[in-house]
Amino acid sequence: MGELIATNFITYEYPMNEKIRSWLRLETLLSQIYELSNITSYSSGIAFFRSVSELIEILDRGEVRSELIKELEKQRTRLSNWAEAPNADNELISSLLEQLSGKISHLMSAPRFGHHLRTDKIISMVRQRLSIPGGCCSFDLPTLQLWLNIPQVERDKAINGWLQSIEPLNDALKTVLTLIRQSGKFEVRESNNGFYQDNVEGKELLRIKLSTEYLIYPQISGHKTRFALRFLHIDSENGILPDVINFELSCC
């Protein structure tokens, strides 16, 4: 089947295992950190440090680096196998293999993820207050209030140091998730009465592309080899759900 023709789509994603779940959380936090790193006020500073604190907590829970290296090596093996296929673009594959090898080496030689953030005095000071509701007022953190008013060049130097320390993680994660997402192809599916279920084998990430036209979103559940989609209207009381809903599904 082809693709749906519409002007405005949202792509929803659902992880089929804990590893992908963790990586998607990391991707979201890293995106927030980079976006919030241009601190313009006390409030935006707190938002930045909150995202940094959550990143540190996730990195403390498991061996993210070894999992990413394992995934990059798996992708490298897959690419090597493609090179043996008839009509393979060996020049492109060779270039991609070289890039993957470089990323693996960079990852293996990088300092421990989050170490630079964990040991920073400003970050540690703010983290201590984040667990307290409303605990980051200026009177709670006069040191932060002062830091936010030191010359911009000094603050930029500190922030750039923090961002550089997580760049190997960001680069590897971006590469891995891009390769995983590209491994699947979107195909048109049909849901009757707002429900759809199917089996998948050896897949790690579900991607559902849905038009915003009817204000409908998917509630996704699944584990290992089975998944189910229930389509719901944003207005749960008054919204009307079409009998047949067309959407695109990619199993990666």
- Domain housing 227: 9-15+184-251
Structure tokens at 88: 């393979």
Residue 21 lies in a domain: no
Residue 28 lies in a domain: no
CA distance 226 to 217: 20
Residue 3 scores a pLDDT above 80: no
Structure tokens at 133: 């509701």
Q: Could you tell me if 160 and 192 lie in one domain? A: no
Q: Say what the pLDDT of residue 243 is.
A: 92
Query: What is the chain written as a DSSP string?
Result: ------S-EEEEEEESSHHHHHHHHHHHHHHHHHHHTS--SHHHHHHHHHHHHHHHHHHHHS-HHHHHHHHHHHHHHHHHHHTTSTT--HHHHHHHHHHHHHHHHHHHHSPPTTHHHHT-HHHHHHHHHHTSTTTT-TTT-HHHHHHTTS-HHHHHHHHHHHHHHHHHHHHHHHHHHHHHHHTS--EEEEEETTEEEEE-SS--EEEEEEESTT-EEEEEEEETTEEEEEEEESSTTT----SEEEEEEEE-
**Domain of residue 208, CATH code:** 2.60.440.10
Residue 24 scores a pLDDT above 90: yes
Residue 178 scores a pLDDT above 90: yes
Per-chain mean pLDDT for the chain? 92
Confidence at 62, pLDDT banded by 50, 70, 90: confident
CA distance 127 to 81: 46
- In the chain, the number of structural domains is 2
Return the ∠ at Cα 154 (arms to 52 and 172), rounded to 5°. Answer: 40
Q: Could you tell me if 49 and 167 lie in one domain? A: yes
Residue 31 lies in a domain: no
Return the CA Rg of the chain: 22
Residue-wise pLDDT tens digits, 67-83: 999 999 999 998 888 87
Give whole-number Cα distances, 51 to 60, 99, 143, 183, in Å. Answer: 14, 30, 19, 30
Q: Could you tell me if 176 and 70 lie in one domain? A: yes
Confidence at 7, pLDDT banded by 50, 70, 90: low
Q: Say what the pLDDT of residue 91 is.
A: 83
Spatial neighbors of 110 by CB under 8 A, at least 6 apart, are 65, 168, 169
